[in-house]
């Protein structure tokens, strides 16, 4: 079974704090993704990575950065958390390079920024 894990299920942070969200997959997938999910807006892609040390901007990268030092690990960084970054954050991974592969999701991290 594909296993994608995220470091925290719930996080509460203060405005201005630097926040790290970690994601690990155990299936040797090349591709990893970070989404946020908000009511009425669906899933929106923040950043993705097709390989170690590679990163591509998604649809809403502003205020975020990512790091992929190892194939199995993809980190999302909120440089200076703001209240409008309160959301559910979802990590996903997939195998292959055609863009048609199934993405498998982690359990999510619900972040509250006060």
Partner 1 sequence: EDQVTQSPEALRLQEGESSSLNCSYTVSGLRGLFWYRQDPGKGPEFLFTLYSAGEEKEKERLKATLTKKESFLHITAPKPEDSATYLCAFPSYNTDKLIFGTGTRLQVFP
Span interacting with partner 1, options 12-20, 65-73, 74-82, 91-99, rule CB under 8 A: 91-99
Q: Please give the Cα distance from 72 to 78 (Å, whole number).
A: 20
105 interacts with partner 1 by CB under 8 A: yes
The answer to whether 88 and 24 are in contact (CB under 8 A) is: no
The residue among 52 and 88 lying less far from partner 1, judged by its C-beta, is 88
Output the six-digit token pair for 36.
């946020």
Give the one residue of 24, 106, 111, 113 binding partner 1; rule: CB under 8 A: 106
- Reduced to 3 states (helix: H, G, I; strand: E, B; else coil), residue 90 is strand
Q: Please give the Cα distance from 106 to 23 (Å, whole number).
A: 8
Give the one residue of 28, 40, 62, 69 binding partner 1; rule: CB under 8 A: 40
Where residue 54 falls (left for φ over 0; alpha for ψ -120 to 50; beta otherwise) is beta
The residue among 24 and 90 lying less far from partner 1, judged by its C-beta, is 90
Give the one residue of 14, 28, 42, 84 binding partner 1; rule: CB under 8 A: 42
Least distance (Å) from partner 1 to the CB of residue 110? 7
Give the one residue of 13, 22, 58, 77 binding partner 1; rule: CB under 8 A: 58
The answer to whether 35 and 60 are in contact (CB under 8 A) is: no
């Amino acid at each position: 079974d594909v296993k994608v894990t995220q470091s925290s299920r719930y996080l509460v942070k203060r405005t201005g704090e630097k926040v790290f969200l970690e994601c690990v997959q155990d299936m040797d997938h090349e591709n990893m993704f970070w989404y946020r999910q908000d009511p009425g807006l669906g899933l929106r892609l923040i950043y993705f990575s097709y390989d170690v040390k590679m990163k591509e901007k998604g649809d809403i990268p502003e205020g975020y950065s990512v790091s992929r030092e190892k194939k199995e690990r993809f980190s999302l960084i909120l440089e200076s958390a703001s209240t409008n970054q309160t959301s559910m954050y979802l990590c996903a991974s997939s195998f292959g390079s055609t863009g048609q592969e199934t993405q498998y999701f982690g359990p999510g991290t619900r972040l509250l920024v006060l």
